Chains A and B, each alone.
Chain A
């Protein structure tokens, strides 16, 4: 092996990487927040919602969970314009990630809701709370606490999966790495550096989600 490693390009191209990183972070934040919100709403609909709503949500969830993310992304970015819905690459990327996490999050959160003891619903009802109030104030937080590790993993998976958005020219971290290696022909170094950044990002995201869990859920209960 006589390949000479050269990281000299970093001097010139680090702003490109930084911009890619910023976009990946933005996609993850928006996708994470709205995706989890969508997941919670869908979980409520499937577990406790009105009967007519359930098949609609089930169809959405099964469609997303049984097709590749890349195809969903292409469908939104290349397919929808035929119907007159034209989205920019970042909007399309955000939307795809929200829809994707919403479906997986739905099933995870639903498991947490369905593990709620019946007595919690009855206690809420006996105190005069409506079904929706009982869900929001009584059931939701302990349900999220039960499935928080699984939901955190899913958010990290979606963050890593966001690499696919480079395929519709959204200028994320993967797009930046591709761009740099095509300019410098330093494929190993470009992907090595971007790999390291993804790794650091994933670890940081997991820590952040763990911290969020600590602040969202009381330390004592259920542990």
Chain B
């Protein structure tokens, strides 16, 4: 059994079918890049995996937790997959440390001292141990995104979903975030990331998923997908016009 099983998933927004039957199985420790044009359904797919969007058909399960639309099942699922957003979404009224502590205390009922210790450890892990007391608006975009990663990690998920996590960053801040992700990948974390960083996808990922018009158009190892795209759509997307 795979860690994440996505089976025949369909999703409609009104008349617009954005996912037209998606099948992907993810093994533990895999790092998967989802690439594609905007509107191809890649972000929607990621948001479905932790229940931020409901699905109309098919099924999604993560380590045995099924995606079902009630709060109990959603919570069980979300405890297994963390999510990191393009806009960081840190809580502005809490310091970096409190951002990492909050969900541990509220959701897992972790005692404060323990949550604080975990928060320190996780901030240390993303290189921000010294920013425990800083508020989000005192941090750069790259630092905020690393706090968001620490916040997700503190819940001890078995997989992380990254939704264009470097797209809102200034170019010089992209690398510090990618370095953290690379580190996580090398430690064996299962990662699904929607990304436009093709070089990163090629260097770090175990598989690349190319989505087009709501379908998985091509899937394979990065060296194959990038060097020998089979379909004209992927060739065009990669800028190979011959």
Residue ranges of A at the interface with B (Cβ–Cβ < 8 Å) = 117, 119-120, 122-131, 133, 137-138, 141-142, 145, 217-218, 220-222
Known contacts: A122-B52, A127-B103, A137-B106. The answer to whether A220 contacts B91 by CB under 8 A is no
Known contacts: A119-B85, A137-B106, A218-B135. The answer to whether A127 contacts B78 by CB under 8 A is yes
A125–B78 CB distance below 8 A: yes
Known contacts: A218-B135, A221-B137. The answer to whether A129 contacts B106 by CB under 8 A is yes
Interface range, B side = 20 to 34
Known contacts: A123-B85, A141-B93, A142-B92. The answer to whether A130 contacts B78 by CB under 8 A is no
Residue ranges of B at the interface with A (Cβ–Cβ < 8 Å) = 50-52, 71, 74-75, 78-79, 82-83, 85, 87, 89-95, 102-103, 106-108, 135-138, 148, 151-152, 155
A138 to B151, CA, bound (A): 14
A128–B75 CB distance below 8 A: yes
A222–B92 CB distance below 8 A: yes
Known: A120-B89, A129-B106. 12 other contacts (CB 8 A): A117-B87, A125-B74, A126-B78, A127-B152, A127-B155, A141-B93, A142-B91, A142-B93, A218-B94, A218-B95, A220-B137, A222-B92
Question: Which residues on the A side are within 8 Å of B136 (C-beta)?
Answer: 221
The A interface, classified by DSSP as helix, strand, loop or mixed, is: helix
Question: Which residues on the B side are within 8 Å of A218 (C-beta)?
Answer: 93-95, 135
How far does the Cβ of A118 sit from chain B's closest Cβ, in whole Å?
Answer: 9
Look across to chain B and name the residue whose beta carbon is closest to the beta carbon of A132.
Answer: B71
A126 to B53, CA, bound (A): 11
B103–A119 CB distance below 8 A: no
Look across to chain A and name the residue whose beta carbon is closest to the beta carbon of B99.
Answer: A123
Please name 5 pairs of A and B residues whose Cβ atoms are closer than 8 Å in the assembled complex, sorted by A: A120-B89, A120-B91, A128-B79, A129-B103, A221-B93
A125–B52 CB distance below 8 A: yes
A130 to B87, CA, bound (A): 21
Which of B83, B102, B103, B138 has most chain A Cβ within 10 Å? B103
A194 to B156, CA, bound (A): 62
Known contacts: A119-B87, A125-B78, A126-B78. The answer to whether A145 contacts B93 by CB under 8 A is yes
How far does the Cβ of A215 sit from chain B's closest Cβ, in whole Å?
Answer: 13
Question: Which residues on the B side are within 8 Å of A119 (C-beta)?
Answer: 85, 87, 89
A220–B135 CB distance below 8 A: yes
A221–B92 CB distance below 8 A: yes
Question: Which residues on the B side are within 8 Å of A145 (C-beta)?
Answer: 93
